[in-house]
């Protein structure tokens, strides 16, 4: 089937968070299944100069009274054809955060629609987040091109209808008060990235004011859990690590821990419990909860804490101030660094994700793959991917807490910190986490069924591979 992914991010070229990981890895898996998947991405000024791109555009077009060109290349380390949408508004180094993001991405989405009508016609356009929200609206009048719209983050909904009318024009039939709302109405199928979050967003607590719309289109909304590429995130071959290891060589992790402590200026104490967070610094990720308990937790235990992330200036300042008081025990790295993130997953003992809401979460999947035990709040995809540790039955893959309350996080941290001191059961927990199937194996089959259900083609038979190890779709205990 011909499928075009349209997205603002695709790993490893352009990644600001989890969406890039998904588009970059899912496209590769679906292609291996036999689909002709291609990606349509802005031609950012930050793309590596070493990327070999066609010298001439494969197509020139115009949208919103602006001309643009489309260049072709291949997503590195894959065989996925990649179309790069070139216009000066994407020449800068940043993916997001410009004043005219609403204009830039609406232009990008409209350009993608033009490209599909005029150059490469897919059977399905798989749109990711609000940046691509106008595509289902336009394709409403092209019944031979179906659309799937995936919500990675409902909190960002794009320009309002009034703003859209200011910067471009909307078709006469368009309904919806902003870009995301319009996309939800007109897409043939809407997915989000975990079954639990798919249900939660139909409620006022998680619906971001779109809960009524989402409940009313409930029969076309589906939750499919994210995966990661196990070959890209593989501690036994990861070149970013000082020492590679497998689940049978957990002792080798100590070398990574010592090296990480040295790199970050932390005291080089092998026994110190090293807690990590690799995250965007936004309200969603529960940073306020962490700030409420971390001081006390560090004061009462011998733990260490490392955070790698960028985002809200307020959180950055608060974390810096705390780090200054815990010199040698707390390190705050305010930058985006993929290699460092891998060294953190490989060298720290636990990965903290006390999210206020979490559509799926990629960080806990990578952490588990690297034997870094996740500590998560039971919300969204964290419910579906992390099973609570049960010491009596020696089951589970991480530590979980329910309520978004400082005391609940604190108690959970203390429980995990105590658990760390029982070396054998801790290693067994790490092993279970590492052997959990966090790949796309099952979810790619779900996407395949979804694509077949929206296209007119007969169901394609996809060979069922062996079901690998423990399923990430955990049962709560
Ligand atoms: N400073 C930094 N340096 C290096 N790497 C960093 C980094 N900050 C974050 N990362 C990496 O970015 C990714 C973050 O992915 P998440 O899924 O956890 O969150 P995000 O909110 O961005 O994704 C949204 O989309 C994804 C994909 O659907 C959903 O899983 C998620 O719930 C939703 O909020 C991880 O791979 C993490 O390692």
Question: Considering the domain boundaries, does residue 160 fall inside one?
Answer: yes
Q: Looking at the structure, do residues 401 and 312 belong to the same domain, yes or no?
A: yes
Q: Looking at the structure, do residues 85 and 16 belong to the same domain, yes or no?
A: yes
- pLDDT score of 403: 98
Instruction: Give dist(CA 129, CA 97) in Å, integer.
Output: 16
- pLDDT score of 169: 85
- pLDDT score of 456: 59
Q: Looking at the structure, do residues 347 and 416 belong to the same domain, yes or no?
A: yes
Question: Considering the domain boundaries, does residue 238 fall inside one?
Answer: no
Question: Considering the domain boundaries, does residue 232 fall inside one?
Answer: no
Question: Considering the domain boundaries, does residue 239 fall inside one?
Answer: no
Instruction: Give dist(CA 54, CA 67) in Å, integer.
Output: 18
Tell me, what CATH number does 18's domain have? Answer: 3.40.50.2000
Q: Looking at the structure, do residues 25 and 107 belong to the same domain, yes or no?
A: yes
Q: Is the CB of 384 under 6 A from ligand 1?
A: no
Q: Looking at the structure, do residues 276 and 418 belong to the same domain, yes or no?
A: yes
Q: CA separation (Å) from 450 to 154, 226, 294, 472?
A: 21, 15, 43, 20
Question: Considering the domain boundaries, does residue 149 fall inside one?
Answer: yes
Question: Considering the domain boundaries, does residue 235 fall inside one?
Answer: no
Residues 6+ apart with CB under 8 A from 1: 35, 36, 123, 124, 451, 452, 455, 457, 460
Number of domains in the chain: 2
Q: Looking at the structure, do residues 264 and 190 belong to the same domain, yes or no?
A: no
Distance (angstroms) between ligand 1 centre and the Cα of 278 equals 8
CA dihedral of residues 41, 171, 103, 128 (deg, nearest 10) = -30
Q: Is the CB of 19 under 6 A from ligand 1?
A: yes
Q: What three-state secondary structure class fits 13?
A: coil
pLDDT tens, 73-110?
999 999 999 999 999 999 998 999 999 999 999 999 99
Q: What three-state secondary structure class fits 352?
A: strand
- pLDDT score of 455: 80
| Full residue range of the structural domain in which residue 173 is found | 2-227+440-476
Residue for token pair 């994210």: 226
Distance (angstroms) between ligand 1 centre and the Cα of 332 equals 17
Q: Is the CB of 22 under 6 A from ligand 1?
A: yes
Intervals of the chain under pLDDT 50 = 457-477
Instruction: Check the annotation: does 285 bind a ligand.
Output: no
The whole-model pTM stands at 0.93
Distance (angstroms) between ligand 1 centre and the Cα of 17 equals 4
Q: Looking at the structure, do residues 219 and 356 belong to the same domain, yes or no?
A: no
Q: Which residues in 22-33 are b (16+ Cβ under 10 Å) and which e?
A: bbbbbbbbbbeb
Q: Looking at the structure, do residues 345 and 391 belong to the same domain, yes or no?
A: yes
Q: Looking at the structure, do residues 120 and 267 belong to the same domain, yes or no?
A: no
Q: Is the CB of 106 under 6 A from ligand 1?
A: no
Q: Looking at the structure, do residues 395 and 465 belong to the same domain, yes or no?
A: no
Q: Looking at the structure, do residues 54 and 69 belong to the same domain, yes or no?
A: yes
Report the candidate in 427, 412, 422 with the shortest Cα–Cα distance to residue 376: 412
Q: Which atom of ligand 1 is nearest to the CA of 280?
A: 8
Question: Considering the domain boundaries, does residue 6 fall inside one?
Answer: yes
Question: Considering the domain boundaries, does residue 241 fall inside one?
Answer: no
- pLDDT score of 464: 43
The complex scores an ipTM of 0.98
| Closest protein CA for atom 31 of ligand 1 | 361
Q: Looking at the structure, do residues 415 and 453 belong to the same domain, yes or no?
A: no
């Amino acid at each position: 089937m011909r499928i075009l992914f349209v997205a603002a991010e695709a790993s490893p070229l352009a990644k600001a968070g989890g969406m890039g990981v998904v588009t970059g890895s899912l496209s590769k898996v679906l292609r291996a299944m036999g689909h002709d998947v291609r990606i349509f991405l802005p031609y950012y000024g930050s793309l590596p100069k070493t990327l070999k791109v066609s010298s001439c555009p494969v197509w020139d077009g115009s949208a919103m009274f602006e001309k643009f060109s489309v260049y072709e290349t291949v997503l590195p380390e894959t065989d996925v054809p990649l179309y790069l949408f070139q216009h000066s508004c994407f020449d800068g180094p940043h993916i997001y955060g410009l004043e005219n993001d609403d204009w830039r991405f609406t232009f990008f989405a409209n350009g993608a629609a033009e490209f599909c009508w005029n150059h490469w016609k897919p059977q399905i356009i798989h749109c990711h987040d609000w940046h691509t929200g106008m595509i289902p609206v336009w394709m409403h009048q092209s019944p031979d091109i179906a659309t799937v719209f995936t919500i990675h983050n409902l909190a960002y909904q794009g320009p309002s209808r009034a703003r859209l009318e200011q910067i471009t024009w909307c078709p006469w039939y368009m309904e919806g008060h902003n870009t995301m709302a319009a996309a939800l109405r007109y897409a043939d199928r809407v997915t989000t990235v975990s079954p639990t979050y798919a249900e939660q967003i139909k409620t006022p607590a998680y619906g971001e004011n779109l809960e009524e719309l989402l409940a009313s289109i409930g029969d076309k909304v589906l939750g499919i859990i994210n995966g990661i590429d196990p070959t890209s995130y593989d501690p036994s071959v990861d070149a970013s690590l000082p020492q590679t290891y497998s689940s049978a060589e957990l002792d080798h992790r100590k070398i990574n821990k010592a090296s990480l402590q040295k790199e970050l200026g932390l005291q080089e104490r092998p026994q110190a419990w090293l807690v990590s967070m690799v995250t965007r610094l936004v309200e969603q990720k529960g940073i306020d909860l962490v700030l409420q308990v971390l001081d006390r937790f560090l004061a009462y235990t011998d733990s260490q804490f490392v955070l790698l992330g960028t985002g809200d200036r307020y959180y950055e300042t608060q974390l810096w101030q705390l780090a200054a008081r815990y010199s040698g025990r707390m390190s705050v790295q305010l930058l985006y660094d993929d290699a460092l993130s891998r060294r953190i997953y490989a060298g720290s003992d636990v990965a903290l994700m006390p999210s206020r809401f979490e559509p799926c979460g990629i960080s806990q999947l990578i952490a588990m793959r690297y034997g870094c035990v996740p500590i998560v709040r039971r919300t969204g995809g964290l419910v579906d991917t992390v099973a609570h540790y049960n010491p009596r039955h020696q089951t589970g893959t991480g530590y979980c807490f329910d309520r978004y309350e400082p005391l609940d996080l604190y108690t959970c941290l203390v429980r995990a910190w105590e658990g760390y001191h029982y070396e054998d059961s801790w290693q067994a927990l790490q092993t279970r986490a590492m052997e959990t199937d966090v790949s796309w194996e099952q979810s790619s089959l779900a996407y395949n069924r979804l694509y077949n259900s929206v296209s007119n083609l007969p169901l394609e038979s996809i060979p069922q591979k062996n079901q690998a190890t423990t399923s990430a779709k955990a049962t709560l205990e």
